[in-house]
Amino acid sequence: MIFLVVLVAALVAFCGYTWAATGLVSVAALVCGALRLILKDRSPWKVRSVPFDAFISFGLGIGLLVTYTSIQLLL
């Protein structure tokens, strides 16, 4: 599932819509973090603890948007 989102985001970025591609990956990371919090130990993927996995996912989702926005403001 996540692989398909990343594949679609890569195709969208290749077409020149980097903001949309960044948004897709960011939303996917946020959804993964939310799913990890909801499913807890029943989650199909487990890297570390539930709080760690959720923190990393939320950090990636928010960090991608903040980084992309700051780069656009510099240009």
Q: pLDDT of 31-65, one tens digit each?
A: 999 999 998 888 777 778 889 999 999 999 999 99
Look at residue 34 in the predicted model and tell me its pLDDT: 93
Q: Tokens 């948004």 correspond to what residue? A: 23
Task: Give dist(CA 21, CA 15) in Å, integer.
Answer: 10
pTM, to two decimals: 0.84
Which range marks the domain in which residue 62 is found? Answer: 2-74
In total, how many domains does the chain have?
Answer: 1
pLDDT of residue 21 exceeding 80, the answer is yes
Q: What is the mean pLDDT of the chain?
A: 91
CB-CB contact of 2 with 28 (8 Å): yes
Task: Give dist(CA 49, CA 46) in Å, integer.
Answer: 7
